[in-house]
């Protein structure tokens, strides 16, 4: 029997079979041993083959090759990676200006990893109902920066309903992963566009205005209009996995556009002379905020050991 993993909680996996029933499965022992540096051998989104074992319980015995997947560094185990989800069509970074604040650096790290794994991404600023006119103005500027880089951006509100129709259009017939800090409203947005799910949502902590990790494991939800959406637990930092530091520029569309003009073919756009990327930044064609994210990602990758 073939199906798709829609949820994983430790050693049990919920699999949506092609005949639309959901069954709980275990994993055949061999997978645990294979890929040592991955904390979850089977991820939400995986297409799997399931069989009944001698005792009659369902066991996943084959994983179909993944079209793609998004990984991040495992939070508790450095040098290990965690597959957030696989076989996805797009990533939406859910961000907020405040309550809680999402930093540009966080957004750029998610966009960077999406680029590494070849997954189209967009930025969604939720909680638009809370922003002042001045904050909205600031947001417009930031959204222009992402759009210019190739990541369409827009605002939403799970409370006022702003742009939820647009969001629905984007989700139609696609598998979409939502990621972002705890408390930005990932689960609330899903509830707002797909009534009946009643996903748990949680108030921010009163003292820190941060989310309290209400969603605790990734879950893929079928949408009645067609498509799937993956709700994920909020993440504090998007730990990046190893990419050669000198290759980092390839995963910034603005750098990719300019790098052919650099004097040195191995330019890393740091402090070389005649660097076309730095010129683009100075002339306003490459947003300083994104350039600073690049430098910080570059430095972080330099420190990482190859695997
Ligand atoms: N004002 C306002 N509040 C919102 C909006 N969206 C969500 N919230 C509130 O923000 C809080 C957190 O929402 P959740 O949907 O639980 O956030 P989450 O991103 O799923 O958080 P985790 O599951 O912890 O990662 C809840 O109190 C929501 O009611 C919005 O658009 N506007
Ligand atoms: Mg949630
Ligand atoms: Zn350069």
Q: Domain boundary residue among 231, 255, 290?
A: 231
Q: What is the pLDDT of residues 184-208, one digit of tens each?
A: 999 999 999 999 999 999 999 988 8
Nearest to 93 by CA among 73, 75, 114: 114
* Ligand positioned closest to the Cα atom of 186: 1
Number of domains within the chain = 3
| CATH code of the domain covering residue 35 | 2.40.50.140
Residue 73 pLDDT: 87
Q: Where are the beta strands (DSSP E) in 66-199?
A: 69-73, 81-86, 90-95, 121-125, 153-155, 175-179
Q: Domain boundary residue among 11, 32, 63?
A: 63
* Atom of ligand 1 lying closest to residue 160 CA: 31
Residue entry with tokens 């009659």: 56
Containing structural domain, residue 128 = 69-231
228-231 and 175-179: which strand pairing? parallel
* Interaxial angle between packed helices 104-116 and 288-303, expressed in degrees from 0 to 180 and rounded to the nearest 10: 60
Residue 34 pLDDT: 59
- Quick check: CB of 159 below 6 Å from ligand 1? yes
* Ligand positioned closest to the Cα atom of 264: 3
- Quick check: CB of 7 below 6 Å from ligand 1? no
pTM listed for this prediction = 0.94
Do 211 and 109 fall into the same domain? yes
| CATH code of the domain covering residue 137 | 3.40.50.300
- Asked if residue 286 is part of any domain, the answer here is yes
Does the CA dihedral 282-286-288-293 come out positive or negative? Answer: negative
Instruction: Say if residue 152's pLDDT is above 80.
Output: yes
Pocket test for ligand 1, best of 189, 211, 232 (most atoms within 8 A of CB): 211
Nearest to 227 by CA among 183, 184, 190: 190
- Asked if residue 240 is part of any domain, the answer here is no
Instruction: Say if residue 295's pLDDT is above 90.
Output: yes
CB-based contacts of 289, cutoff 8 Å, min separation 6? 104, 142, 145
Residue 140 pLDDT: 97
- Asked if residue 92 is part of any domain, the answer here is yes
Q: What is the pLDDT of residues 205-252, one digit of tens each?
A: 988 889 999 999 999 999 999 999 999 999 998 888 889 999 999 999
- Quick check: CB of 126 below 6 Å from ligand 1? yes
Instruction: Say if residue 33's pLDDT is above 70.
Output: no
Residue 21: count of CB within 10 angstroms of its CB: 10
Confidence band, pLDDT 50/70/90 cuts, at residue 6: very high
| CATH code of the domain covering residue 250 | 1.10.40.50
Work out the percent of the chain whose per-residue pLDDT is above 90. 83
Q: What is the mean pLDDT of the chain?
A: 93
């Amino acid at each position: 029997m073939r199906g798709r993993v829609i949820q994983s909680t430790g050693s049990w996996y919920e699999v949506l079979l092609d005949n639309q029933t959901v069954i709980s499965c275990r994993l055949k022992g061999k997978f645990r041993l294979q890929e040592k540096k991955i904390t979850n051998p089977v991820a939400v989104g995986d297409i799997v083959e399931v069989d009944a074992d001698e005792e009659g319980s369902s066991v996943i015995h084959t994983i179909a090759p993944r079209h793609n997947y998004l990984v991040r560094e495992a939070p508790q185990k450095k040098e290990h990676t965690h597959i957030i989800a696989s076989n996805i069509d797009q990533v939406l970074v859910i961000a907020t200006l405040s309550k809680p604040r999402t930093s540009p650096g966080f957004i750029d790290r998610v966009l960077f990893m999406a680029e590494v794994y070849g997954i189209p991404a967009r930025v969604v600023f939720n909680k638009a109902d809370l922003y002042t006119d001045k904050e909205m103005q600031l947001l417009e500027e930031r959204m222009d920066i992402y759009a210019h880089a190739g990541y369409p951006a827009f605002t939403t509100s799970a409370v006022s309903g702003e742009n939820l129709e647009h969001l629905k259009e984007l989700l139609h017939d696609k598998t979409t992963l939502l990621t972002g800090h705890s408390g930005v409203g990932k689960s609330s947005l899903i509830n707002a566009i797909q009534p009946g799910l009643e996903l748990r949502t949680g108030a921010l902590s009163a003292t820190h205005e941060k989310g309290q990790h209400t969603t605790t494991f990734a879950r893929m939800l079928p949408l009645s209009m067609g498509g799937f959406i993956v709700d994920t637990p909020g993440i504090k930092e998007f730990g990046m996995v190893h990419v050669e530091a000198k290759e980092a520029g390839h995963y910034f569309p603005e750098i990719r556009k300019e790098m052919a003009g650099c004097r040195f073919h191995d330019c890393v756009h740091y402090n070389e002379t005649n660097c076309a990327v730095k010129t683009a930044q100075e002339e306003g064609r490459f947003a300083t905020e994104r350039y600073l994210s690049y430098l910080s990602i570059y430095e972080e990758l330099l420190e990482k050991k190859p695997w």
